[in-house]
A and B are shown apart, each in its own frame.
Chain A
Amino acid sequence: GDSVTQTEGLVTLTKGLPVMLNCTYQTTYSPFLFWYVQHLNEAPKLLLKSSTDNKRTEHQGFYATLHKSSSSFHLQKSSVQLSDSALYFCALRDQGGRALIFGTGTTVSVSP
């Protein structure tokens, strides 16, 4: 069945460094991929989304490129800030097209 895999449970890094969060997916239909961010004690919010192969999408300094050849949608940022400390979820639109399948999430912890 459809699935999303996020391999890192926790990423710790220092302010100003780059970060990449891995996301791979499995599906038999045309994929729609999303990244959601959840700050502590808040609700998840959409960060960015894509359904276009090999096109970079950006928002709030984060960017990701959907690669259908490798079934990947990795999230990147060139220089993390303290405010980027949060839980990040990758999600795939399900085959019915109306619900989301979420990965297990990656916690990013940025230190000064």
Chain B
Amino acid sequence: EAAVTQSPRNKVTVTGGNVTLSCRQTNSHNYMYWYRQDTGHGLRLIHYSYGAGNLQIGDVPDGYKATRTTQEDFFLLLELASPSQTSLYFCASSDGTDYAEQFFGPGTRLTVL
């Protein structure tokens, strides 16, 4: 089965802090995604990428940067964290075909105080 891992699993930071969330997939998938999950909003796409060095803007990109360094690794950066970014963050990967399943990592719970 597809494998997507995320680190850290839990993170607490203060307002204005710097946070990097990491995601690695070993599926040889071209596409990787970052979502945030909030009650009442479902899963919302922040950024995604179709290969190393590529970045596509999602639906809720404000306050977030992302970088895809290799096919396996995709990072989400919060350079000036705010309490509104307290959320559960999921990374996912897929092969990018029309009907492709997205495989999700276990999630990172981020709290910004």
Contacts and interface: CB of A to CB of B under 8 A. Distances in A.
Interface string A9-39: 1000000000000000000000010100000
A93 B94 CA distance: 12
Interface residues of A, number: 23
Classify the secondary structure of A's interface with B.
loop
A100 B45 contact: yes
Given A49-B99, A100-B102, A102-B42, 5 more contacts: A44-B43, A97-B98, A98-B56, A102-B35, A105-B42
6 contacts: A34-B101, A51-B99, A98-B94, A98-B96, A102-B44, A104-B40
Interface of A: 6, 9, 32, 34, 42-46, 49, 51, 89, 91, 93, 97-105
